Amino acid sequence: MYVELHARSAFSFLEGASLPELLMARCAQLDMPAMALLDRNGLYGAPRFHIAAQRAGTRAHIGAEIAVRDAGERMRPPQWLPHQVPIEPVRLSILAETQLGYQNLCRLITRYKLREAHKAEGAASLSDVAEFAAGLVCLTGGDEGPLAAALARGGYDAALREIGRLVHIFGPRNVYVELQRHFEREQEHCNQAAVRIARTLHLPLLATNGVSYATPYEREVLDVLTTIRHHCTLETAGRLLTSNAEHYLRSAREMQQLFRDLPEAIENTGELSARLIFEMSDLGYRFPDYPVPQGDTMQTFLEKRTEEGICNRYQPKCDETLFARAQKQAQRELSLIAKLGLAGYFLIVWDIVQFCGREGILVQGRGSAANSVVCYALGITAIDPVGMDLLFERFLSEERGEWPDIDLDLPSGNQRERAIQYVYQRYGELGAAMTANVITYRGRSAARETGKALGFDADTLNRLTKLVSAWEWKDKDDSLGRNFHDAGFDIQHHRIAKYVELCQRMQDLPRHLGQHSGGMVICGGQLNAVVPIEPASMPGRTVIQWDKEDCADMKIIKVDLLGLGMMAVLKDCLTLVPEHYNQPLDLAQLPPNDPPTYRALQQADTVGMFQVESRAQMAALPRNVPTCFYDIVVQVAIIRPGPIVGNMMNPYMKRRRGREKVTYYHPLLEPVLKRTLGIPLFQEQLIRMAMIIANFTGGEAEELRRAVGMRRSMARMRDLDGKLRRGMTANGIAPAVQNEIIQSISSFALYGFPESHAASFALIAYASAYLKCNYLAAFTAALLNNQPMGFYSPATIVKDAQRHGLRVKPVDVQHSDWPCTLEPEPSNAHRFTLRLGLCYAHGMRRDTALPLLAARAQRAFMSIQDLVLRVPELRKSDLALLAKIGALNSLGEVEHRRDALWQVEYAGRPAGPLLEELPEEESAASPLRQMSIEERLVADFSGTGVTVGRHPMAFHRAQMRQMGILASCDLAGLPHGRNVRIAGCVIARQRPGTAKGFVFLSIEDETGIANAIITPAVYEQFKQVVVYEKFLMIEGELQNQENVISVKAREIRSLQISQAEVRSHDFH
Amino acid sequence: MPAPLYLCVHVRDFAAQALKQSHELGSRAIAILNGDPPLERIFAMNADARQHGLETGMSRVQAESFPILLLRRDRAREDAAFAELLRCAEQFSPRIEAIASPLEDLCGATLVLDISGSERMLGSAQEIATSVRRAVRAIGYESSVAASHNAGAALLAARGLPGIVAVVSGREAATLAPLPLAVLDLDVAQAETFAVWGIHTLGELAALPTKALAARLGQSGLRMQAQARGEHRHLLVPGEEAPDAPISESLELEHPVELLEPLLFLLSQMLEQILQQAAERAMAIASMETCLTLERNTLDVNAQGPAHCEHCRVVRPALPEHDRLTLLKLIQLDLELHPPEAAVIALRLTAHPARLPVAQQGLFAAQAPEAGHLEILLARLRKLVGEGRVGAPELLDTHAPEPFRVVNFEIAQSASVRKTSAPPQHAPAMRMVRPPRAIAVELRGDAPAAMHYEGHRLILQAGSGPWRTSGAWWTHPAWCREEWDVVLKEEPQRCLRLAHDPGASCWYVIGIYD
């Protein structure tokens, strides 16, 4: 028997070429009973390795290669050889024998990782290793290890001393002298010395293959990764590359053949494997207890808080029945929470929400937590689950045996950071950390890095990576090879063919570790004994070595503190509205049926509104005609890939408008699907359907839901499919109906929405719509101050606001603040204009703007010279920028932008201290002519990204009319099927994965936004124009049905309207 | 003193025009590719190609979709064409300045000629310009020609205006006014500043107030404005041959010569001339290229292509040499090692001069052989053992077999020689067998058991291996190799290194352990 006990995966980041799953699959293929994973300086791949082992029925031993800084430098080629191997510390190969050993390994890695001020590899000291040596087994390693390094450094005696030191640290029983045979002469020299040392010190020998990839073929990928690591090319890498392809996972037979002279080295692998009793099934993770007052338990404390919350939430509703139902549901939930021991979890999330409340930070729970009345009572969520009849089992069930998932939405930016820092402060540096986000090689990054390795120049790579298709939709011909061909590469050339092949093989390999956007892991006891923690790039943050799916697999609870741009907008509105409109604003008490709000939603007048602003939403809103809050819930959920792929959207719309009869797949399903007119739209419905028609238990149904919702679980979904069919057959459901039901369930794969989540989002959507319709100036200012977010660029948001009657003023050094602000209209103090902030001057730094604002607060600027003298922080480029965008036009003696440019060029020149106080000698008017309209547009878009003047199309309207081109506002009055021409600047391009290759364009003119649909054939014909041109003329058939208007393109031409850098939001 | 008169000749798309002419392509649209496959990019094109929408920087694959002829860049051809253009211009004036030469990777070639005082001989400025343009067209290039009393104005007018322009004295500013600013040599920041000011033509630039402009853009602003007004005094710097410019001598033979001896006689004379010219510049010869034009084998009916072909060899002494006999001997030895394949009908010697080596001999330093003698010795050795086998080995950074190359000896520039630690002294020595000897091997399992070497069957007593190496998998073909260290059973025992190429299934002896 042979067990491979030294393997690196791709999670050794650029030092291994195979994913842990692939290594384990190969291990199972070779009938190896177990295998060990020792990644460099971490346990990054351990959970995946462990889960893969569980599925394959093998054992996964866990360990790591630990860099030790005072154990010498790792072996390098002799000095007289030309080489470029960088100096690196020796790495100790360590295996966890027991749970204590695993905990020590985690603590050891955390210790030296956190010692680094910034994100870095780091290295342990021998004293660290000695402190955490209990429960660990040490191998002497391959060429990265201490034995090879000591031999190279000081010969046999040094090596003997080094191994003696390891024996002193780990004990004689826990040090194995490792032998590797990669058919290299120098290695055999090392092996002979190793055998002598083992005999001298009476240590066991251990054969390993120092695996870096699963199969020899992957050596090529490892070589590419090596060049990426060392910033060189394959041609120049020299001896940095491996000398052969022997570092693969060998079978027992091959290893026995290789070590036939030392059979005990093979036998010892089995013995050591048997000794390694630790498995990752139990990590000893525990959620922290919440401190409660004396006399209370966490459960009683939670019950009290819930009771208070129920009263606060439901008594104002003055509905006794509802109140009673809420109390009953709360009792049911609390008893389940008590049974599952989850009171502490709820209290800790409640504690974060309380902190946000105290600090005035908006917070709202999203996801399935909104199904719980306890969460509603505790203020974690804002949706009444009892009133909306939401399914609690989607959130929590006894059978599932897992922790519930509560996600909190916070305003993005500083406020979210404060909440995160509160958690760190509350649970300690070693008690909480962010979850990781593994950044992998994707199309563009793979093409770029592989191209560099193959020695392609930067220009070529830029051209290629720009052209690598990034649409969501991929047609059958949209291969990497075709992208290369489109980029001008000859894919028949062997070097290019190899490039394409390598790019494909690089896909999905880990590149580096980032941090998750908001997932925080909290631990009772010490988190660093469960998983290693390391510093994140962001100051004040730490991150664990696993991503969120690994955490779920390892049953580690995370609380998501997610940043939501719209929450920041709402928060800003909470300040702006009372300050300027002198009206109180309480998001919890918004008028529920505000007519202007619903009118705007029905007319798809939704630019800037949360979740309902996209082109697809706009196309659906006039058909859905929302009239109540639940309609918005449905609206948020229905424009998702799941319902669209499942062909649920159209039937729902028809049924809603009474054009199709409401039917059900089976009479049994009527109670479940009645609310959505017989069409399943929500995950909760999926769960209930499985329970009713296939006799699934709640837990099984939830497992089904998870299987269709997770990328990694497609295989599990197939298993459950059989079970589902058997259950339906038992209930006498016909095979054809079974197929329909399974199709509707499968459509949820990856993209299904829980009803509670949709309801939480719908609340924010309604709030954003209400604010836009009632406080347009404040809402627009907040929206512009929190960019980038949403579907549209600031330019489109400004134009939309202007069409709604808001006056927008340009950036002005005499009036603008750093953010966009409101100014009362001189004629009407209750109407406001929006002043663009200095933050919209591209290239202007806040550090420069603040002294400017401080100087202006003392007194207004008299002239450009005055500005330059009083704000020395302004560089010449800043002044030129401000002049170019017209921000200096209100200064004395400035007549127009070019006048300002002429003056700043003089005033901004470097003058010595002796001359800087001298008055301006020149007073003659600028010789430069005023900017033309086109020049002003170009300056506006390049300098601020927006224009507050007329839309570029407005200047060409007469010409457009001559060409038979209609304005977008004209389309509503024309009949369906008529041939029309429209034109405008492209503001969004989409090729959704669900749309079978169709491309959707949103084009804007001075009257509004028009939508165009491009079939795949037309797209192929006009691809270059569609993708690259800024202004387009589109001719085609008008589709005007149910107030949804679009043009089905037949011909597309580019228009020379303006050179302005208008930007489109392209969905890649 | 009469006012100076200048003439500027601008040949647009010079690289494309040069190549097109050499291939006699008539009026076809052509584009020129630069770079190594598969990364060739469009580097230059003619006007016809530009009209098809072709742009510089396109890849070969992209360019192939246009109905144009794609040619590879030929620097030698560009150099020759530029020399031809210069010769053509020299008919009109000895004082010529080349503003942009193709040697600087620019696609246009611009020559400024000082034709002051030539009017009586060659006619008016307009007539001279016409003659020059006609002469340039006669050698195959379309050009624009401008004449002016201001060299800078002539230069800008030729760059910006087509055909022939005679800039009337005093009307320089008016003539240049409509030209775009692009004809000036602006850097990126200057171009951006003028763009944002709305200054697009030379006329607009000329109209700006001078003092105010100087206050903003400094001296460069003044210079540009003076250029735009046609007032900038361009100081003509006639091109003079640099001391290290190549020296060339050529000779056409009346009859084909097949023997080396008569050739050497002729080469000796040519060498004499070259060395004399080099001596006038106080230079020696760093390298000497011998190009022999060969008579084509008329019996080969399948032979295609030009009527003649060239046999070119370069000798490069370690130190610049100025001794004729030494250089001649080096050329002789090189030609003996690489003889031409046909009779020679023309000779051309091109020498690249360099400064004479100056070295201070140490008073007590050991007497070293003279550099020239040493060079001849090395050349003789090279002739004896083959090219690439004389010199110093240089280790390469690779796992590949034979990880070294032989480079010429270099003269140490200073006493500080890089210290490298020697290989361990106790390591066994091994003689490499070069070239490797092919052998037949009998295997037991995968390991060699016996081998057939030098006519004997030799039993292998022991062996270790295989030692596997492979690499360069990204190239075609990649390499891989297995090596074995074996001990022969026969007395006295010998230890050999064998290599096996799994791809070709061949075995070799590559080394013998001492």
CB contact (8 A) between residue A188 and residue B464: yes
C-alpha span between B437 and B435 (Å, rounded): 6
Q: Which two tokens stand for residue A803?
A: 């069409």
Give A1033's pLDDT tier (boundaries 50, 70, 90).
very high
Lowest mean pLDDT among A311-315, A931-935, A989-993, B188-192: A989-993
For residues A160-167, give the mean pLDDT. 95
Distance from CA of B1 to the nearest CA of A (A): 39
For chain B, what percentages of helix, strand and coil (3-state, to nearest 5) are there? 30, 30, 40
In this prediction, residue A471 carries a pLDDT of: 45
C-alpha span between B177 and B230 (Å, rounded): 9
Q: What is the full DSSP assignment across A630-661? A: HHHHHHHHHSSHHHHHTT-HHHHHHHHTTSS-
In this complex, the residue of A243, A460, A901 whose CB is nearest that of residue B196 is A901
- Identify which of A904-908, B358-362, B398-402 has the greatest average pLDDT: B398-402
In this prediction, residue A89 carries a pLDDT of: 93
In this complex, the residue of B39, B471, B476 whose CB is nearest that of residue A494 is B476
In this prediction, residue B22 carries a pLDDT of: 64
Give B16's pLDDT tier (boundaries 50, 70, 90).
confident
- Identify which of A895-909, B81-95, B168-182, B425-439 has the greatest average pLDDT: B168-182
In this prediction, residue B33 carries a pLDDT of: 84
For residues A497-520, give the mean pLDDT. 87
Cross-strand pairs, A440 = A510
CB contact (8 A) between residue A931 and residue B198: yes
pLDDT at B21 over 80: no
In this prediction, residue B301 carries a pLDDT of: 41
In this prediction, residue B47 carries a pLDDT of: 77
In this prediction, residue B300 carries a pLDDT of: 45
For residues B109-124, give the mean pLDDT. 86
A939 neighbourhood in chain B, CB within 8 Å: 196
Q: Which two tokens stand for residue A706?
A: 């998870």
For residues A19-40, give the mean pLDDT. 95
Give A501's pLDDT tier (boundaries 50, 70, 90).
confident
Optimal mutation site among B194, B396, B474, B475, interface A, most CBs of chain A within 10 A: B474
- The string of pLDDT tens digits covering residues A826-855 is 887 778 999 999 999 998 999 999 999 999
B207 neighbourhood in chain A, CB within 8 Å: 927
Q: Is B210 on the interface with A (CB under 8 A)?
A: no
Q: Is B61 on the interface with A (CB under 8 A)?
A: yes
B420 neighbourhood in chain A, CB within 8 Å: 79-80
C-alpha span between A204 and A188 (Å, rounded): 18
A185 neighbourhood in chain B, CB within 8 Å: 467
> Which H helix or E strand runs over A1005?
strand A999-1005
Which residue from A minimizes the CA distance to B211?
A922
A884 neighbourhood in chain B, CB within 8 Å: 196
In this prediction, residue A487 carries a pLDDT of: 65
Q: What is the full DSSP assignment across B165-218? A: EEPPTT-HHHHHTTSBGGGS---HHHHHHHHHHT--BHHHHHHS-HHHHHHHHH
Amino acid at site A363 = V
- The string of pLDDT tens digits covering residues A515-551 is 888 889 998 888 999 999 999 888 888 999 999 889 9
For residues B296-319, give the mean pLDDT. 66
B193 neighbourhood in chain A, CB within 8 Å: 905
- The string of pLDDT tens digits covering residues A559-586 is 889 888 999 999 999 999 999 988 888 8
Distance from CA of A82 to the nearest CA of B (A): 5
pLDDT at A1041 over 90: no
In this prediction, residue B455 carries a pLDDT of: 82
Optimal mutation site among B62, B200, B467, B486, interface A, most CBs of chain A within 10 A: B467
CB contact (8 A) between residue B467 and residue A239: no
Distance from CA of A231 to the nearest CA of B (A): 16
In this prediction, residue B13 carries a pLDDT of: 79
Average pLDDT, chain A: 88
The b-or-e profile of A809-847 (16+ CB within 10 A means b, else e) is ebbbbebbebbbbbeeeeeeeeebbbbbbbbbbeebeee
C-alpha span between B210 and A909 (Å, rounded): 17
- The string of pLDDT tens digits covering residues A192-215 is 999 999 999 999 999 999 999 999
Residue pair A967/A1045 in contact (Cβ under 8 Å)? The answer is: no
Q: Which two tokens stand for residue A118?
A: 């910034």
Amino acid at site A233 = T
Give A432's pLDDT tier (boundaries 50, 70, 90).
very high
Distance from CA of A873 to the nearest CA of B (A): 20
A463 neighbourhood in chain B, CB within 8 Å: 59
Residue showing tokens 């028997």: A1
pLDDT at B346 over 60: yes
CB contact (8 A) between residue B39 and residue A457: yes
In whole angstroms, what separates CA B324 from the centre of its chain? 26
- The string of pLDDT tens digits covering residues A346-404 is 999 999 999 999 998 989 888 788 889 999 999 998 888 888 888 887 788 776 666 77
In this prediction, residue A469 carries a pLDDT of: 52
Alpha helical stretches, state H, A99-202: 99-115, 126-131, 146-170, 185-201
Better pLDDT: A778 or A83: A778
In this prediction, residue A128 carries a pLDDT of: 94
In this prediction, residue A713 carries a pLDDT of: 54
- In A502-638, DSSP assigns E strands to 510-522, 533-535, 542-547, 558-564
CB contact (8 A) between residue B198 and residue A239: no
Query: With the C-alpha atoms ordered A1040, A1046, A1051, A1054, is the resulting torsion angle positive or negative?
Result: positive
CB contact (8 A) between residue B397 and residue A83: yes
In this prediction, residue A853 carries a pLDDT of: 95
In this prediction, residue B59 carries a pLDDT of: 77
- The Cβ of residue A423 has, within 10 Å, a number of other Cβ atoms equal to 21
Angstrom distances, CA of residue B495 to CA of B425, B451, B460, B500, B509:
19, 13, 9, 16, 11
- The string of pLDDT tens digits covering residues B125-134 is 889 999 999 9
3-state secondary structure B132-162: HHHHHHHCCCCCEEEEECCHHHHHHHHHHCC
In this prediction, residue B417 carries a pLDDT of: 45
Better pLDDT: A413 or B439: B439
Q: Which of A255, A345, A263 is nearest to A32 (CA)?
A: A255
In this prediction, residue A936 carries a pLDDT of: 93
Lowest mean pLDDT among A130-134, A264-268, B49-53, B331-335: B49-53
In this prediction, residue B240 carries a pLDDT of: 67
In this prediction, residue A472 carries a pLDDT of: 44
Optimal mutation site among A493, A1023, A1025, interface B, most CBs of chain B within 10 A: A493
Average pLDDT, chain B: 83
Better pLDDT: A288 or A224: A224
| Rg of chain A taking only CA atoms, in angstroms | 33
